[in-house]
Structure 1
């Protein structure tokens, strides 16, 4: 998965924030124009004050247009925005004379501050707020409680807006990524069901019925079995791709299929159509137990003796059955082996499963083959 989706989501949040800022700019401009006309008699240089007001009207229109398109939000635009706010603020002593109360732009400078907050998050807001607030305080003859309050609000509001904008963009990117992963997982599950209900079932049927036909039918059954295993492996390789930062998990079905490929074509591995994801350490231990069972088949029944491995996902637990058609294990033989100090079955099979919180049951009698049923509780992945 590329980063295009998360970047688009973050940009969408920024676009909405700048559209909201456009409305705020108009409100601030209306307030500044109204206050300028109302207090025009207090200006020492009225013509300059009116010229600056016209400049703020023009720049507000330009800024709304420029910020509306992402490709125009270049650093030069934001620097120019802040520079004009700084210049109008700095002109207040000249335009209004000594002892002025309100600056020429008033709250209009908040537009530039919010633009820095939206585009450059809390760091940009802190830089812009520090420059504007320091200028506002330095150009005054004295600092009143009202002036201090305005400066304090700008220093707090700017970084907070910047932080919130960054948080919203991160949340949007994470939501977009989760939705895309959910859609991909859903499509993979649908395709896996389609393949499992169609192609895999046909291959399994050919594998079972082929030997009954004799001659080429036996070879046809073997080829069908090999193709079934290959197709399942391809599905699992796609299903078990993990995103960066994901916790390490393993598809037990894929592990068992690779394990069965060590003894082709005498080992048949049947798994669900969907991945059976377990923590990697659990999947590794279960695979080791199944490997020990298959080693016992090779050692006590024969290298070419067939064996069957069946994996079932029951939601809260997984069950793996390993079966052969050998002579079986006489009653009391395993107990006698433990008494004699041979702990292969006791430790490599039952001990490992017990450590995982599961159970290992043996079903065997002379002449009926042997079947191990391994049940392991499914941890939360």
Structure 2
């Protein structure tokens, strides 16, 4: 059994031990009070002594998580059943039918609770039904007074089993939250180190080489791409739903923020199906890459995200050199399919659309709209 679960259950096992002692005390009081009316009163004391010894044994046995398994649980159940059935010969069948209490009284409920804690509701219900049937057989009458104890025992097993399950789920969530917090702190530490070293070097290479031609310009472009990818890796603002099928679009876009790129959108998460979010993020990256390649260094870019009920609209707007009216058609004819495939193609596959508004020396605006529900 996992250590975390054992630690969570420890207070419950202590409570069961306290219940056993209290129930044993109550049973002893009733035996002292009614022993004169028993059919075989002398035999009541050995049974009571055995119950006391078992109470002491189980108090220490259940304290060890390694022993909270089937052998001890079954033995616990059998001892309680034996104490119940011994009432037939000691108390007497006639007295039991008349409503006299059994020797175990409420002591026999402890194994039922133990089963519920160790195995959950189903195990507790099975133990309660077994113990309840034994109690009814010993009492030999099935009126409302006799069945009430069995019903209460069954309800206790259900309640305790449910409580244990809720506590375990809460413990698991707490552990995941602690792990996430630790991972976040480590990621933030690494992000600081990377920002102070690698990212600054990549940004410097991108900035210094942006206006150069040939291999130097290509190196600057690659440095810019790696900078954006590395920022995405260390930003740590990814958010997914419990099933892992949705992603936060803002988490994918925020790493592109820089002195030249302003990212604006809702304060909260903009969740989309994972494929939609990734493809839309890739289309935005292609649009930003076009700005880096075709506009002067320092060109300001504004990235807007609109979260609407049925769709999400992402707009990439720059104040750069703009695009000539026939430039996109010429690029497609020449086999340069950056806009056609990386932007229009991706968004079309998602069931959305792209609008590009541009004019020479007036900047460019690329508006990408995708539906919230993925297309089949």
Matches within 5 A, 1:52-131: 52-100=47-95, 101-131=100-130
Determine the C-alpha separation between the residues in 1 that align with 2:254 and 2:154. Answer: 61
1:374 aligns with 2:363: no
Q: How many Å apart are 1:239 and its aligned residue?
A: 6.5
Listed as ranges, the matches of 1:15-34 within 5 Å are 15-34=10-29
1:1-381 matched pairs, under 5 angstroms: 8-100=3-95, 101-185=100-184, 187-189=186-188, 191-192=190-191, 195-196=194-195, 199-210=198-209, 221=220, 224-225=223-224, 227-229=226-228, 231-232=230-231, 234-235=233-234, 240=238, 245-249=243-247, 278-284=272-278, 286-287=280-281, 289-290=283-284, 306=294, 312=303, 319=314, 321=316, 328-330=323-325, 348=344, 360=355, 362-365=357-360, 368=361, 371-374=364-367
TM-score by length of 2: 0.70
Output the TM-score relative to the length of structure 1: 0.69
Compared CA separation, residues 214 and 167, structure 1 to 2 (3 A): closer
SS of equivalent residue, structure 2 residue 106? helix
In the superposition, relative to structure 1, how do residues 179 and 327 fare at CA in structure 2: closer, same or farther (>3 Å)? closer
Q: Give the structure 2 partner of residue 337 of structure 1.
A: none
8 A contact 2:12–2:117 mirrored in 1? yes
Secondary structure of the residue that 1:26 maps to in structure 2?
helix
Q: Distance in 2 between matches of 1:175 and 1:311?
A: 39
Q: Deviations over 1:80-125 (max 9, x none)?
A: 1000000010110111123121111111001111101111112111
Corresponding residue number in structure 1 for 2:332: none
- Per-residue CA distance 1:315-335 (angstroms, 9 max, x = gap): 96885537697773249x99x
**C-alpha displacement of 1:276:** 8.6
348 and 141 in structure 1: CA distance in 2 versus 1, 3 angstrom threshold: closer
Q: Report the CA distance between 1:207 and its aligned residue.
A: 2.2
Structure 2: distance between partners of 1:140 and 1:54: 22
User: Quick one: distance in 2 between partners of 1:327 and 1:129?
Assistant: 78
Determine the C-alpha separation between the residues in 1 that align with 2:315 and 2:160: 55
- Evaluate the alpha carbon distance shift between residue 369 and residue 199 of structure 1 in structure 2; reply closer, same or farther with a 3 A threshold: farther
- Alpha-carbon distance, 1:137 to partner: 1.5
Contact 1:253-1:311 within 8 A present in 2 as well = no
Q: Does structure 2 conserve the Cα–Cα contact (< 8 Å) formed by 1:21 and 1:115?
A: yes
Displacement of 1:10: 3.5
Q: Tell me the SS of whatever aligns to 2:139.
A: coil
State the alpha-carbon separation in 1 of the partners of residues 189 and 285 from structure 2: 31
CA distance in 2, matches of 1:189, 1:376: 33
Paired residues in the alignment total 344
| 196 and 60 in structure 1: CA distance in 2 versus 1, 3 angstrom threshold | same
Higher relative contact order (CA 8 A, sep 6+): 1
Preserved CA contact (<8 Å) 2:84 2:104: yes
Identify unmatched segments of 5+ residues in structure 1.
258-268, 335-343
Unaligned runs of 5+ in 2: 264-268, 330-339
> 2:277 is paired with a residue of what secondary structure?
helix
Deviations 1:226-258 (A, max 9, x none): 65255336437x76596972223276886999x
Q: Is the 8 A contact 1:353 1:376 kept in 2?
A: no
**Partner Cα distance (2:222, 2:148) in 1:** 82
Shift of the 106–291 alpha-carbon distance from structure 1 to 2, 3 Å rule, reads: closer
1:361 Cα deviation after fit: 5.7
- Shift of the alpha carbon at 1:60? 0.7
